[in-house]
Chains A and B, each alone.
Chain A
């Protein structure tokens, strides 16, 4: 039976060899902690005896803020939770509200959501790959990854006008139709990208320094991973075959063919292999989405919820009234509650929304994948070397905005 890692002894404790353990602070301003993660380590020489993550430095009370906003005003807040995958957050929130409303989304909007979501996954994994490799001393990979990430950010800018805080998905569909030439540019990128992944793999997968730093490091068994609530590539790297895109398809993922990479080693290298394989799967989904992109509207036919087209608003009385009403008093959502989970690049991103029948959500709770994976970090670092803690942090791909909210 898995136990939660033992609490650290604040003033050190006697070790078997007669020495005392030492308390070492790591972070919050430490380049390897990917933000403001603070870890209090109890060490015996170079070995980590215990670890206590200290979080909350980035707590902005988004859940509380949501309760004071109209449903549609919450969308831009969701970008700021997991800032490396804004569209995934937008999607999870929109899907949850659409489920509450019982709203049907047109096919084109769904396929665009899948397309943008996979580009977001690529964006997120590229940042992870670059920074993870840099933590372990491979500087070049970082530059290569950010070269491709720049392309993806340009796509985001094309559709939404924003590189990072996109807020492109709206309740009921999308904000805008993608601009002319968008699909051709994405297609060009998608054709080139598998070659780029080969480039990264050439630098890392067979690299003896990288493999020495990652193979067998920070091991997490499948049993422990489940008990500690780990999710996403962290869980799949430990041999648990789970992917919400396949197991509980949302927004039309059932129309796409893709493999779910699973590794059984449970170490840093296994998580690396899972994510790199996911890069290839994601670009495959992008190709399928481009090939089969349906024509049609990008917003649901629900005038009380979805803002009317600008053109209609200026020429039709009714559209003007709906526009005015949605902007000034929001739209009401039938009472109830939903938990909508999507597969973010880091794992299960769940939005739990409670509605009391008014225009503002009664409660919004985000189940952040990093928050759950962080608990597994303490487990996987027990008995490891301090230098390997850096590798372990990189391997669970923490985003502090997602943890602290």
Chain B
């Protein structure tokens, strides 16, 4: 089974409820799209992540009401270094969509989505702990996995697998 080529044209993918609504709301809110291996990824500007999330959550015909996962990928040494990844699920329509926001390494901060989904609370703390990405407006942004006095962020690519010696 050969892999189908990825689709990156917004026009072709507009039938997806999430993308259609976002383009309609503000075409500048969709930086890039990719439909690859049956999964849709939408890149959004980091400034509008909270608004985009709340629009998708309240979508009338296909509400993405469930935050399935929130994590981060570190593309060190290239810039923008971090990509925060949101996996959304619509429980009623069984649709999934992946949102991504790119962040610079020097100012790795993005608005928290805890006001949209309270479930984001622990996920954002985890990303903060392991990647050092700050979430502005998070009610309790503290380390969650590592001890409070730990130095560094273990899942960053410049953090050695064995830890610092």
- Could you list which residues of chain A lie within 8 angstroms of chain B, going by C-beta atoms? 2-4, 7, 55-56, 59, 61, 63-65, 67-68, 99-100, 102-104, 226-229, 240, 242, 247-248, 334, 336-339, 341, 348, 350, 352, 354, 362-363, 365, 367, 371-372, 374-375, 404
Contacts and interface: CB of A to CB of B under 8 A. Distances in A.
Q: Which of B66, B87, B114, B121 has the most CB of A within 10 A?
A: B66
B77 interface: no
Contacts, number: 96
B122 interface: yes
A247 B87 CA distance: 17
Nearest to A248: B94
B68 interface: yes
Closest 4 pairs (CB-CB, A-B): A229-B119, A4-B118, A102-B3, A367-B69
B1 A4 contact: no
Interface in B36-73: 36-37, 39, 41, 65-69, 71, 73
A391 B85 CA distance: 34
B25 interface: no
Contacts of A242: 91
B94 A334 contact: no
A291 B85 CA distance: 42
B36 A336 contact: yes
Interface string B127-160: 0001000000001100111110000001100010
26 contacts: A2-B118, A4-B118, A7-B139, A55-B144, A56-B146, A59-B145, A61-B154, A65-B161, A102-B37, A104-B1, A227-B117, A227-B119, A229-B66, A229-B68, A229-B118, A336-B37, A338-B39, A339-B68, A339-B87, A339-B98, A348-B68, A352-B85, A363-B73, A363-B74, A365-B69, A372-B119
Contact of B121 (A59, A365, A375): A375
Given A227-B117, A354-B73, A56 B155 contact: no
Contact of B144 (A56, A227, A352): A56
B71 to A, nearest CB: 4
A348 to B, nearest CB: 6
Contacts of B119: 227-229, 372, 375
A67 B161 contact: yes
A337 B66 CA distance: 21
B92 to A, nearest CB: 9
B96 interface: yes
A229 B67 contact: yes
Nearest to A56: B145
Contacts of A404: 145
Contacts of A227: 117-119
A4 B121 contact: yes
Interface of B is mostly: loop
Interface residues of B, number: 40
A226 B39 CA distance: 22
Nearest to B6: A336
A248 B139 CA distance: 34
Contacts of B96: 339
Nearest to B120: A229
A68 B161 contact: yes
A362 to B, nearest CB: 7
B118 A3 contact: yes
A228 B119 CA distance: 4
Given A352-B71, A367-B71, A375-B118, 12 more contacts: A64-B159, A99-B37, A104-B1, A226-B66, A227-B119, A229-B66, A229-B68, A229-B118, A352-B69, A367-B87, A372-B122, A404-B145
Contacts of A103: 1
A405 to B, nearest CB: 8
Interface of B: 1-3, 6, 36-37, 39, 41, 65-69, 71, 73-74, 85, 87, 91, 94, 96, 98, 114, 117-119, 121-122, 130, 139-140, 143-147, 154-155, 159, 161
B4 to A, nearest CB: 8
B33 to A, nearest CB: 14
A375 B124 CA distance: 13
B122 A375 contact: yes
Given A365-B69, A367-B87, A374 B122 contact: yes
B117 A229 contact: yes
A339 B119 CA distance: 19
Contacts of B39: 337-339
Contacts of B87: 339, 350, 352, 367
A228 B96 CA distance: 18
A240 B87 CA distance: 19
Contact of A350 (B65, B68, B122, B130): B68
A334 to B, nearest CB: 6
A102 B1 contact: yes
Contacts of A100: 37
Contacts of A350: 68-69, 87
Nearest to A98: B1
Nearest to B156: A64
A227 B73 CA distance: 24
